[in-house]
Structures are given as C-alpha cells and as structure tokens.
Amino acid sequence: MLINVFRNPPSALPGTRMLSAQLGIEGCQFVDPLDARRYWRVEGAYMPIPGRAIGGIRAKVRDQKDFVSFCNQRDLEVLLGLARPGELCPWLDDDYVDVTEEAWVGLACDDTDLLDDLYEREWMLRSQLPLQIITPDYEIARRVHLAHHADVEDLFVLLADIEPETGAAPDVRFDTLEGRWMRAERKRVRWEKS
C-alpha cells in the first residue's frame, strides 16, 4: 500500500493538486497490462478527486513515446507489485482487482486529470522564462492516453497571461487555468504509428 488517504491525508503543493511528497513512486516503471509493447514511468502523484468511484491518489505516468496518462491508486498498487488481485485493499475496504475484471480502470484520464497535466506543463514553462510571463499564442502540444485504444494529440494555445480581475501579469493561479488556455486541436492517433 502506498498511503491510506483516509487515515493519513496527503497534502498538495500550494495552489496545485500535486502531492508535496511523492511517496517514493516517482521513476517507478511498469509494462502496460493491455499492451506489452508499451511501458510506463511514474512522473508524479496527485491529490484524490472527491466523488470518484475509486478514491486514493492519482499517479501521472508517461510512456516511451511521450504519451501521458493517469492511474488510480488501487490499480497502480497492483501494477507496481505492491498488491495482488484478490487481496484486500485496506484503504478502500474492497479487494484489489485483476486487469481482466470489469472493475479494472488502469490507465485512463479525464478532463480533471488533463487540467493537472496542463498546469504542470505551464509551471515548467514558467520556470524557464525570465519574468515567468508567457506570450500570447504560445502553444503547448501533448500526447495523451485517454484509455485503452484511445490516444490523442492535443494542441493548446495561450489566450492571455493576465489576471482577469486586475489585468496583472502573469496569472499563475490554477483556478483560472482554463481561461488562459484554449484547446485548438485534438486528433486521434494510433500509438503503433506514432
């Protein structure tokens, strides 16, 4: 088990959902259970999202072709060999599941996960800029694994790097992220041909 989020709630870096402590999983690798040609490396850990069917932390992962995805804590513990299907998941009070079971979620991400990824990319970009201000029309391209056999390439364009209320720059707040960036394109791709 990585952490019991109910007994020992993790904390996030201020203004983000990135965990302040990475739980020793950053850099861990595993083979995709649904495609043995694909392997993944854990890049970071994120706070649980209230209301999700499977609670726990979320791990951001990247494969050898630079596609990003997320994995819930329950299935990640199985993928990393920290638990076996059929064993009791103590923090969830339910059994761990096998990749062949209907309850398996594995590698998947939704818009909430993808916002966390976009914010992290913006944060990394700012760290390379002298004044941390991003110029309008700057583009961020990313490859995303949404689910099994669902890979896409996204292109985001910066609309403005100013706080809507004050007009001050830069605007680094997570809660205004969606107002700064616009998805200009999303196209489906086949991983095998990427």
**Tell me, what's the pLDDT at 128?**
92
- Please choose, from the candidates 69, 42, 61, the residue with its C-alpha nearest in 3D space to the C-alpha of residue 150: 69
**What are the boundaries of each domain within the chain?**
29-107, 112-193
Q: For residues 85 and 36, give the distance between their C-alpha atoms in angstroms, rounded to a whole number.
A: 19
What confidence category does residue 194 fall into, taking pLDDT thresholds of 50, 70 and 90?
confident
Q: Is the pLDDT of residue 22 over 80?
A: no
Residues forming beta bridges with residue 87, ordered by sequence position: none
**Tell me, what's the pLDDT at 117?**
97
Give mean pLDDT, residues 122-136.
90
* Cβ neighbours, 10 Å, residue 17: 20
Q: What are the backbone dihedrals phi and psi of residue 93, each rounded to the nearest 5 degrees, phi first?
A: 55, 45
Summarised one tens digit per residue, pLDDT across range 143-191 is 999 999 999 999 999 999 999 889 889 999 999 999 999 999 999 999 9
DSSP 148: T
What confidence category does residue 130 fall into, taking pLDDT thresholds of 50, 70 and 90?
confident
Residues 96, 89 contacting (CB under 8 angstroms): yes
Q: Which residues of 155-193 are buried (b: 16+ CB within 10 A; e: fewer)?
A: ebebebbbbeeeeeebbbebeeeeebbeeeeeeeeebee
Whole-angstrom CA distances from 187 to 118, 140, 184 are 17, 14, 10
Residues 192, 184 contacting (CB under 8 angstroms): no
Question: What token pair was written down for 35?
Answer: 């495609």
The answer to whether the pTM exceeds 0.75 is yes
Q: Is residue 142 classed exposed, middle or buried when 0-12, 13-18 and 19+ CB atoms within 10 A define those classes? A: middle
Q: Is the pLDDT of residue 1 over 90?
A: no
Summarised one tens digit per residue, pLDDT across range 50-85 is 988 898 999 999 999 999 999 999 999 999 999 999
